[in-house]
Structure 1
Amino acid sequence: MRAAPEVVLAWRGPVTDGEMVDLVASHGGAPVAGWWDRIRPHSLGWVTARAGGTLLGFVNVAWDGGDHAFLLDTKTRGGHQREGIGAMVVRAAVERAREAGCEWLHVDFRPELQSFYLDACGFRRTDAGLIHLPGTALSR
């Protein structure tokens, strides 16, 4: 896949745990060494965006093995945010989930990312439920 002359997108392209740590740190995130190596086997796939070999963007697509896929961990290198790279990797992930036969692609996001996911990427608002497991006891 080719998104723009300088940015090359790849589905399930090679990406190391060290590159993921560097990408997360580049935008002020809190990287966890070993994270990518642990979750990669549970993914339907992922999209990488590179320029000159440098990892500029990433998104992971997890799934239930059937109709539902889940967009996770959309990331863009700190110095390249607001250049459309995040939207490019998300659009590529949407197409690949569709090609895999998924019927639904879910995404959760913080309120400040609403315009990115709803406007730039085409997701629609939906009702959902969420339990924060470490801090919640279920009542019967």
Structure 2
Amino acid sequence: MIEYVTNPFPDAGALDDFWRRAWGGPQPANYGQVLGRSLAHLGAMDGDRMIGFVNIAWDGGVHAFILDTAVDAAYRRRGTASELVRRAAELARERGATWLHVDFEPHLEGFYRACGFGPTAAGLMRLSP
């Protein structure tokens, strides 16, 4: 049974272990500081093992942003990511956000459209190589 937890603040070792299973590499440096500034983050747990994650960043006002949606490779295609995004949207709304944004790679468009995100025009500027 998968349990969804708001703001689990996993320790660095547990988060790094999950990140390697989900993303295939180490977590970004100082990610705990990122979570401390977020509107919220959600973890999907199988017992004490994190198997899914999403971060909800925000601008301090009405805009929230879905970041780092990920599921452990062994748990994919079970609806976990969709449930994380659904719960993230609900939590962002409860905490005062009016808009929920997400950026995604082209191969994830179908997933995010199915989650309820519509198309928008946007811009992106790379700041470092």
Q: Does 1:25 align with 2:20?
A: yes
**Identical aligned pairs, as a percentage?**
40
Q: Determine the structure 2 residue equivalent to 1:63.
A: 58
Q: Does 1:134 align with 2:111?
A: no
Give, in whole Å, the separation in 1 of the partners of 2:54 and 2:87.
9
Q: 1:47 touches 1:59 (CA, 8 Å); kept in 2?
A: yes
**Alpha-carbon displacement from aligned partner over 1:99-127 (angstroms, at most 9, x marks no partner):** 011010110000011111111x1111111
Residue 90 of structure 1: how far off its partner (Å):
0.8
Return the match for 2:34 from 13, 26, 39: 39
Give, in whole Å, the separation in 2 of the partners of 1:19 and 1:43.
19
Secondary structure at 1:106 match in 2: strand
Please report the RMSD computed on the Cα atoms of aligned residues, expressed in angstroms: 1.4
Q: 2:43 touches 2:54 (CA, 8 Å); kept in 1?
A: yes
Residue 16 of structure 1: how far off its partner (Å):
1.8
Give, in whole Å, the separation in 2 of the partners of 1:74 and 1:48.
10
TM-score (norm 1): 0.86
Unaligned runs of 5+ in 1: 1-5, 136-140
Bigger shift: residues 28-37 or 8-17: 28-37
Residue 32 of structure 1: how far off its partner (Å):
3.1
Return the match for 1:53 from 41, 48, 52: 48
Paired residues, number: 129
Q: 1:46 touches 1:59 (CA, 8 Å); kept in 2?
A: yes
User: Rg bigger for which structure?
Assistant: 1
Residue 33 of structure 1: how far off its partner (Å):
6.0
Bigger shift: residues 18-27 or 82-91: 18-27
Give, in whole Å, the separation in 1 of the partners of 2:30 and 2:73.
19
TM-score (norm 2): 0.93
Q: Does 1:108 align with 2:107?
A: no
Residue 34 of structure 1: how far off its partner (Å):
4.2
Structure 1 segments (4+ residues) deviating >6 Å: none
Give, in whole Å, the separation in 2 of the partners of 1:34 and 1:131.
22
Residue 96 of structure 1: how far off its partner (Å):
0.4
Residue 31 of structure 1: how far off its partner (Å):
1.4
